[in-house]
Amino acid sequence: MSIIVFRYLHFLGITFWIGSAVAIAIAASTPGPSDSGIAQSLRKISLRVTTPAMLVAFAGGFGMLIPNFAELYSKQGWMHAKLTLLLVLAGATGVLSGKLRRWAEGQDVSPKAFRRLAWTVSVLAVLIVTFAVFRPFSA
């Protein structure tokens, strides 16, 4: 496959992954904790959009990374920082999914937790894009 196809998949996946994760977290932070219908809907969106988009972003990213890793990226500090933040972002997405599951099951989840997750995902995304564009710590 061409690098352009992988780049397209990467950008498409990132757009839907980050966009849906932030939108879900913001939407979940506004209603009261007893709105289980909203919780069910947001959980479905998370499972049908956010998670597959994350997998597409990973597939596209690894498709670009693996062929060039040894010669281009293995000594680049910015890539290591970006991949580390990417793992934290994937973890935050998992936390969001878990909180949505608990809320959909009727457990009490604080709207503040969703607000914090929206900020966390947003800040991590900005940092990751900053590393990808400006490439600090280059060898």
Retrieve residue 82's tokens.
């970006």
Q: What percent of the chain has pLDDT over 90?
A: 77
Picking from 94, 117, 103, the residue whose alpha carbon sits closest to that of residue 26 is: 117
Report d(CA 20, CA 41) in Å as an integer: 13
Instruction: Give mean pLDDT, residues 123-131.
Output: 97
Report d(CA 44, CA 18) in Å as an integer: 16
How does DSSP classify residue 75?
T
Retrieve residue 17's tokens.
């992954």
DSSP string for residues in 15-43: HHHHHHHHHHHHHHHSS-TT-HHHHHHHH
pLDDT tens per residue, range 26-71: 999 986 656 778 999 999 999 999 999 999 999 999 999 999 888 7
**Is 3-134 a CATH 1.20.120 domain?**
yes
* Cα atoms in the Cβ-side hemisphere of radius 13 Å centred on 127: 18
- What's the pLDDT at 63? 94
Domain boundaries, the chain: 3-134
